[in-house]
């Protein structure tokens, strides 16, 4: 099994130079661009529209991972898939008809993801494991970067990793951890089964993107 992929969250990037930030992240060895889309309804913050997915598609070769923290995922998930996102993840807490949303994402040619908040039992996504490509386990309550990591997130990853193995889906579905990731918790998360680690404040506040990426990858492989 290859090492973890590192997905910087553009929520923490310099909004005045987003395209350059994407190129710098690519040069620093980042693997995926994570776009935190917030509607001010599902979470108490407002961020980007589909334009950022189009900009990322135009600017970078890296896969684009759109994390939709929106109250109406059925409306917005196809829009971000059409805008060029490779992965589109919606929150199980926001999707009345989750299977329908996941199908709509795949019909647009993107990979379908489901995200779960720290207060949501991992059992909430068991029914859709055969219909997803990505599981996003939140390490913080969604809405902001720079929040403290919630201990026990690795145990939640391990539960999902086990559920995927029991379903014979361990090679079909990736597990992403999003929120509060640093080189201090990367090892436990990787050992628990995480494949993608999102990082916002840890990387962007480091002043050394490549160093931060390398430290997370080294820690996760230790």
Catalytic residue IDs: 36, 178
**Nearer to ligand DX5 among residue 52 and residue 181 (C-beta):** 181
| Euclidean distance between CA atoms 122 and 162, whole angstroms | 11
Task: Look at residue 90 and give its three-state secondary structure.
Answer: strand
Backbone CA torsion sign across 98, 192, 1, 27: positive
Q: Which of 128, 143, 187, 214 binds ligand DX5 (CB under 6 A)?
A: 143
Backbone CA torsion sign across 159, 175, 7, 220: positive
For 137, the token pair is 């386990």
Near Zn ion by CB under 5 A, which window of 29-37, 53-61, 83-91, 210-218?
A: 29-37
Q: To which residue do tokens 């949303």 refer?
A: 101
178 in contact with Zn ion (CB under 5 A):
yes
142 in contact with ligand DX5 (CB under 6 A):
yes
117 in contact with ligand DX5 (CB under 6 A):
no
161 in contact with ligand DX5 (CB under 6 A):
no
What are residue 90's phi and psi, to 5 degrees? -120, 160
Q: Which of 49, 146, 206, 210 binds ligand DX5 (CB under 6 A)?
A: 146
For 142, the token pair is 């969604």
Closest among 42, 58, 61, 56 to 13, alpha carbons compared = 56
Near ligand DX5 by CB under 6 A, which window of 73-81, 119-127, 136-144, 168-176?
A: 136-144
Residue nearest to ligand DX5 (CB): 200
What are residue 18's phi and psi, to 5 degrees? -65, -40
Q: Binding mask 171-210 vs ligand DX5 (x if CB under 6 A, - otherwise)?
A: -------xxxx----------------xxxxx--------
Residues that bind ligand DX5 (CB under 6 A): 9, 11-12, 34, 36, 67, 69, 140, 142-143, 145-147, 178-181, 198-202
């Amino acid at each position: 099994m290859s090492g973890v992929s590192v997905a910087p969250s553009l929520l923490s990037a310099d909004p005045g130079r987003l395209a350059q930030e994407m190129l710098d992240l690519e040069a620093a060895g980042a693997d995926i661009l994570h776009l935190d889309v917030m509607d001010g309804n599902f979470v108490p913050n407002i961020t980007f529209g589909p334009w950022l997915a189009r900009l990322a598609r135009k600017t970078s070769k890296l896969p684009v991972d759109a994390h939709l923290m929106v109250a109406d995922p059925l409306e917005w998930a196809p829009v971000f898939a059409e805008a060029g996102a490779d992965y589109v993840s919606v929150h199980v807490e926001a999707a009345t008809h989750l299977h329908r949303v996941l199908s709509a994402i795949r019909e647009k040619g993107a990979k379908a993801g489901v995200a779960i908040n720290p207060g949501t039992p991992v059992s909430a996504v068991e029914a859709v494991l055969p219909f997803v490509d990505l599981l996003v386990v939140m390490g913080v309550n969604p809405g902001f970067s720079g929040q403290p990591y919630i201990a026990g997130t690795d145990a939640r990853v391990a539960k999902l990793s086990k559920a995927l193995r029991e379903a014979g889906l361990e090679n079909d579905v990736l597990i992403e951890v999003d929120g509060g990731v640093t080189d201090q918790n990367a090892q436990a998360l990787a050992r628990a089964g995480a494949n993608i680690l999102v990082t916002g404040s840890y990387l962007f506040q480091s002043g050394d993107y490549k160093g931060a990426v390398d430290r997370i990858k080294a820690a996760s492989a230790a």
